[in-house]
Amino acid sequence: MKPPSLGEFEELVLLMVAALHDEAYGVAILESLETKLDKKVNISAIHVALKRMEEKGFVKSRFGGITSDRGGRRKKFYVITAFGKQALDQQYSIRTEIYQQIPEISFN
């Protein structure tokens, strides 16, 4: 079965979830992405991406402990699923494959 499609921003968020491993929750993803991309990102955009990928089965979530700077609310941590990893791999391999087809000559 072909995995569901993965948008560009979703891919970035998924990569970050995988990279942060077990420490990935909304604000953490936001801040890491902002540093990496060096631009402002909306937290709502991240939530949208996370919810969609959760529906598609790329990530799964669990609630963490209570923290005071969240107004007594729990963090929601996301981890990448095997299916998510597979989608990421596939995406990556397609890109690499195409990338390698670029004839070197054209840049000389």
Partner 1 sequence: MLSSNPPKIAQKLLEWFIKDELVEEVLGDLDEKYYSSIKNKSTTRAKLNYWYQVLHYLRPFAIKNYWSNSNFNNMHLHHFKIGFRSLNKNKGYSFLNILGLTLGMTIALFIGLWVHDELSFNKSFNNYENIAKVMRVQHNDGQEVEVGSVMPPGLGTHLRENFSSQFEHVVIARSRPEEVILSNEGDNFTETGLFLQKDGPELFSVNMLSGSRAGLTDINSILISHKLAQKLFDDEDPVGKTIKYNGSQELAVNGVYEDFPTNSALKGYDFLAPFELYIDGWSDVTVWDNYFTQIFVLLPDNANLANTNELIKDLLQPHVSGPGERLLFVEPMKNWHLFSEYENGEKVLSQRLKFVWIIGLVGVFVLALACINFINLSTARSEKRALEIGVRKSVGSRKGQLIHQFLIESLIIAFISFGITIILSIVLLPAFNGLAGKNIQLPFYEPLFWLISLGTTMLTGIIAGAYPAFYLSSISPIKSLKGDYKTSRSASLPRKILVIFQFTISITLICGTLVIYNQIQFVKSRPVGYGKTNLVTLQKRTSELYGKYDVLQAEFEKSGAVESIGEASYPLTNTLGNNDGFDWEGKDPSFDPSFNTVKVNYDYGKVVQWEIIEGRDFSRDIRGDVRKSVIITEAAKEIMGFDEAVGKQLKFNNDFYSDPEITIVGVVKDMVKGNPFEKAKPAIMFLTERPLYWMFLRLNSDLSTAEAITRVENVIREVAPNAPFDYSFVDEEYDQKFRSEERVGSLITMFSILAIVISCLGLFGLASFVAEKRTKEIGIRKTLGASTSSLWGLLSKDFVSPVLIASILSIPFAYYLLDIWLTKFEYAIHISWWYFVITSGVALLVAIITVSYQALKAALLNPVNSLKSE
Which region holds residue 38: left if phi is over 0, alpha if psi is between -120 and 50, else beta? left
Distance of alpha carbon 43 from alpha carbon 107, whole angstroms: 39
Instruction: Verify binding: residue 22, partner 1, rule CB under 8 A.
Output: no
CA 52 remoteness from chain centre: 11
The two three-digit tokens of residue 33, written as one number: 């992405």
Cβ nearer to partner 1, comparing 25 with 58: 25
Q: Which of residues 57-86 bind partner 1 (CB under 8 A)?
A: 63, 67, 69-71, 73-76
Smallest gap from Cβ 66 to partner 1, in A, equals: 9
Instruction: Verify binding: residue 30, partner 1, rule CB under 8 A.
Output: yes
Cβ nearer to partner 1, comparing 30 with 87: 30
Nearest to 77 by CA among 103, 50, 99, 97: 50
Summarize as ranges the residues that interact with partner 1 (CB under 8 A): 25-27, 30, 42-45, 47-48, 51-52, 63, 67, 69-71, 73-76
